[in-house]
Amino acid sequence: MSATRRIAITVALLALLVVGLPSLASGAAPGRLYAFGDNTDGELGNATNNATNNANPTPTLVPLPGATGGVTQVAAGASHSLAVTSTGQLYAFGQNEYGQLGNATNNGTTTATPTPAVVSLPGATGGVTQVAAGASHSLAVTSTGQLYAFGYNYYGQLGNAINIATTTANPTPTLVSLPGATGPVTQVAAGAFHSLAVTSTGQLYAFGYNYYGQLGSAINIATTTANPTPTLVSLPGATGPVTQVAAGALHSLAVTSTGQLYAFGENQYGELGNAINNGTNNANPIPSLVSLPGPSGPVSQIVAGNDYSLAVTSTGQLYAFGYNYYGQLGGAVNNGTETANPTPLRAALPAGLTVATLARGAEALHTLLVLITAPGTTPPTLPGTTPPTLSGLRASPSKLSLAGRLVNGRCVRPTGKNRKHKPCTWPIALKLSYTLNSAATVSFTLARQEPGRKVNGRCLSPTKKNSKHKRCIRLIKVPGSITHRSTAGANTFRFGGRIGGKTLAPSSYLLTAAPTANGRRGNPQTVTVKLVK
């Protein structure tokens, strides 16, 4: 999977914050829901910047009409959002092209659905206690252990055969039956196109897309055939029942009651914690035991991101393995490359701190964790209590012609006098201006802007087949970055058009400037730069 594809997936993700302590935000009460990020499809629960690619960086309160309790849990799909209240109400908002909101509003369209609506589960015998969101499907568990599914079902990820191998919407939540289950469902996880469920007796079931063996079986591997029947997953050598699961985009993780960690599915970037089939698209359907180096202790928490995995042990140590292009493994190993990292790496946390909680998200490309002070230690002083702030980013000129004329072996600007000389490409020379509130190192990165079509929540290359889909802008990351040590106040930086050892070709680019000081990353700002022939 390329970095280009990752950007296309991630651009639709949103960040959700449930405030549990009034001290965490001014005026916030326990159980209030805030959202920020992309809002093209209304996935932030409001109509601001719907149907645009504009950023929404300010956390905004999400009103849940008729809610009778505070929010206790959230889940973010590719372009839709789910929220559960303390009284068991389930709300959904965002894109509903495939019925992933659990109702028929805007089915079969890409029209935004920004108003949170209560999801009704037909025949449910208890309130909702847990949810999971795949790329375009949703899972919900009730207090009595019933499992409901709705949304996209092309690969059977809803646990039934309704509309498999089609893009037909499935807006009605449907009860999922687990053949041979000996207890109610206690936990679920949703990958991009597959689903996992755990029962109270520790049985693990999987259904949906299995091209890479992410269902823990060899059924229909290396094909796009649907697998709608939930199938029991066997963990070779397990010394206890399954207690926890996590689903990445194309791989799966499971933890047993004795703290064993198993992984199966895609392993192109080492996200299974071993070197089997690294750098290939081969399936890995047999769950394999993940070995954590050193005196790690049993695994207590897991998270499966987009081609990377995280595990926390009972002693609060954090281990990571898989894709690390953006540094999501908590270390600099193979940053900015597509190189696999199959050996679990122990993240270097500040002295005296251990992990309390990891954030979950199948398609995320970043890591969030809550740190606590280890018992009997003095809380450390963390560097950089205030992140740097960058403002006023400008590029001059914002549109630059690269057409020149060759005079005496040099490419110079075209004039009336040299118009008959041989054409050449004029060197790029951009002046970047910005202001910082404190000294910081500013990193400049670029992404080429290309037209695309939105399909299943992703911005893909335009084709004849998707020509009627909603237009979107694909951001294709340009490898490499440039850093500049900047001072407090006004700064200028001259960019010569070379990044990662290569000169930029004519195109439209999104240039991002992000400041870092004392280990704290500040706010990024972006500006569009057009290079024309």
Quote the pLDDT of residue 409.
80
Give the rounded percent of residues in the chain with a pLDDT score beyond 70.
85
Q: What gap in Å lies between CA 512 and CA 515, rounded to an integer?
A: 10
Would you give the distance in Å from CA 400 to the centre of its chain? 34
Residue 504 in this model has a pLDDT that exceeds 50? yes
CATH number belonging to domain 390-532 = 2.60.40.2550
Report DSSP letters for 272-308, one per residue. Answer: TSS-TTTTS-----S-EEPPPSSS---EEEEEE-SSE
Q: What gap in Å lies between CA 288 and CA 175, rounded to an integer?
A: 31
Residue 398: phi, psi to the nearest 5? -80, -20
Pairing of strands 318-322, 308-313: antiparallel
Q: What gap in Å lies between CA 407 and CA 423, rounded to an integer?
A: 10
b/e map 300-328, b = 16+ CB within 10 Å:
bbbbbbbbbbbbbbeebbbbbbbbbbbeb
pLDDT digits (tens, 9 = 90+) for 270-291: 999 999 998 888 999 999 999 9
Residue 8: phi, psi to the nearest 5? -65, -40
Quote the pLDDT of residue 378.
54
pLDDT digits (tens, 9 = 90+) for 101-120: 999 999 999 999 999 999 99
Element (H, E) at 438: none
Quote the pLDDT of residue 413.
73
Q: How sure is the predictor about 157, in pLDDT bands with cuts at 50, 70 and 90?
A: very high
Residue 22: phi, psi to the nearest 5? -55, -25
Cβ atoms of residues 114 and 66 within 8 Å: no
Q: What is the model's pTM?
A: 0.68
Give the number of other Cβ atoms within 10 Å of residue 491's Cβ. 21
Residue 517 in this model has a pLDDT that exceeds 90? no
Quote the pLDDT of residue 35.
83
401 Cβ contact list (under 8 Å, min separation 6): 426, 532, 533
Please provide the average confidence, as pLDDT, over all residues in the chain. 84
Q: What gap in Å lies between CA 232 and CA 242, rounded to an integer?
A: 12
SS (H, E, C) 100-158: CCCCCCCCCCCCCCCCCEECCCCCCCCCEEEEEECCCEEEEEECCCCEEEEECCCCCCC
Quote the pLDDT of residue 141.
97
Higher pLDDT, 499 or 468: 468
Give the three-class secondary structure for 359. Answer: coil
Q: How many CA atoms lie within 13 A of 282 on its CB side?
A: 10
Least confident of 73-77, 149-153, 234-238: 73-77
Quote the pLDDT of residue 58.
83
Q: Exposed, middle or buried: residue 414 (CB in 10 Å: 0-12, 13-18, 19+)? A: middle
| Highest mean predicted confidence (pLDDT) among 194-203, 329-338, 429-438 | 194-203
- Note every long-range contact of 197-200, with CB atoms under 8 Å and residues 24 or more positions apart, other chains counting: 197/139, 197/147, 197/230, 197/245, 198/242, 198/243, 198/244, 198/245, 199/145, 200/145
Place of tokens 């699961």: 245
Q: How sure is the predictor about 258, in pLDDT bands with cuts at 50, 70 and 90?
A: very high
Give the mean model confidence (pLDDT) for residues 432-455. Answer: 88
The tokens describing 446, both together, are 């670029």
Q: In the chain, where are the structural domains located? A: 1-128, 390-532
pLDDT digits (tens, 9 = 90+) for 336-370: 788 889 999 887 766 666 666 665 555 555 555 55
Quote the pLDDT of residue 13.
29
Cβ atoms of residues 99 and 106 within 8 Å: no
Q: Per the omega criterion (within 30 degrees of 0), is the bond before 397 cis?
A: yes
Residue 269 in this model has a pLDDT that exceeds 90? yes
Q: How many CA atoms lie within 13 A of 91 on its CB side?
A: 28
Q: What gap in Å lies between CA 77 and CA 137, rounded to an integer?
A: 8
